[in-house]
Structure formats: C-alpha cells, structure tokens
Amino acid sequence: MRYYLDTNIVVFMLLDTDEIHRDVFRIIDDYSNTFYVSSIVIKEIIHLHKRGIIGEFRFKSAIDVLTAIKNMGIEVKLLNETHLLQYAKMDINVNEHNDPNDHVIIAQAISDKIPLVSSDHKFKFYTSQGLDFIFNNR
C-alpha cells in the first residue's frame, strides 16, 4: 500500500524516537508498503534543521537529512497543478487550523488518493473533504 508521511512522522523516524504508535510502526515496518513525502515536508524539515530544532548532532547539514530520508526509502513527490487545484477547492477554515503548509500537504494526499499519516489531530477535520487519514496517537 502507498502512504504519505507528514513532517512529524518523518522527524520521529529521523531522530529514532518512541513517538510512533505501534499501529503506525507496523505500517512503517512493512516492507511491502511505499512511502512518500510532499516536497513541502522536505522544505519544513530543511527549515527545522537550519534553525537547529532537529538533528543538529545527528545530521551536520540539511543535505545529510535529505540523504537519510532517501536512505529510508521515502520518495519525494513534487507539487503539481492537480495538487494546487485541490488546494484551491479545499475549505481551509476548519477548526482554527491555520497552517498553509499542512493545507497543501493534505491537498496533495487527497488529490493523489493516498492515505496521510500524521500526529496532527486537526487533520481529521479534512476527512469530510476526502482525506484518508491515519492518526499517529503518540
């Protein structure tokens, strides 16, 4: 099966934390599954690294972070016009969720019809708009 991973899930994987629930870990540990991240997730992770928020000791540079993501077998999916059209159609005034990066990540998952794994409980409010959401209850 195919899955999109949100930024928080990839960060937990990179830092090898225990923040991934056992049900989500089973999905990640299943080698028959394919994992994707939006290019927006990569942008967020690079930003977090450059600000010293993640991996400052494990990863000396943002390039090291990108290499680690690639070595985990996660494929980066670039935004395209179809994703942006989905974003344009979405109702983003949902439950005070004001993160435009999240909105684009959600739109990409909806557009591609691929489940999105995240620890962000606000993502559940987009299931009525077509998001297939898997919550990482950490």
Report the C-alpha gap between 56 and 22 in whole angstroms: 27
Whole-number pLDDT of residue 53: 85
Q: Which two tokens stand for residue 28?
A: 């990640």
Which DSSP string do the residues of 120-137 spell out, in sequence order? -GGGGGGGGGT--EEE--
pLDDT tens-digit profile of 107-130? Answer: 999 999 999 999 999 999 999 999
Walk along the chain (138 residues) in steps of 10 and give the mean pLDDT of each run.
98 93 96 98 94 80 92 97 98 90 98 98 96 96
Lookup result for tokens 């989905």: 86
Report the C-alpha gap between 56 and 60 in whole angstroms: 6
Report phi then psi at 123, rounded to 5: -65, -25
Q: Assign 74 to helix, strand or coil.
A: strand
Whole-number pLDDT of residue 2: 98
Whole-number pLDDT of residue 72: 95
Q: Which two tokens stand for residue 134?
A: 């898997």
Nearest one of 21, 10, 31 to 135, comparing CA atoms: 21
Whole-number pLDDT of residue 138: 86
Instruction: Please indicate, yes or no, whether the overall pTM of this predicted structure exceeds 0.75.
Output: yes
Q: Which two tokens stand for residue 8?
A: 């928080």
Whole-number pLDDT of residue 87: 97
Whole-number pLDDT of residue 56: 67
Contacts of 125 (CB under 8 A, 6+ apart): 94, 95, 97
Whole-number pLDDT of residue 112: 98
Whole-number pLDDT of residue 94: 86
Q: Assign 113 to helix, strand or coil.
A: coil
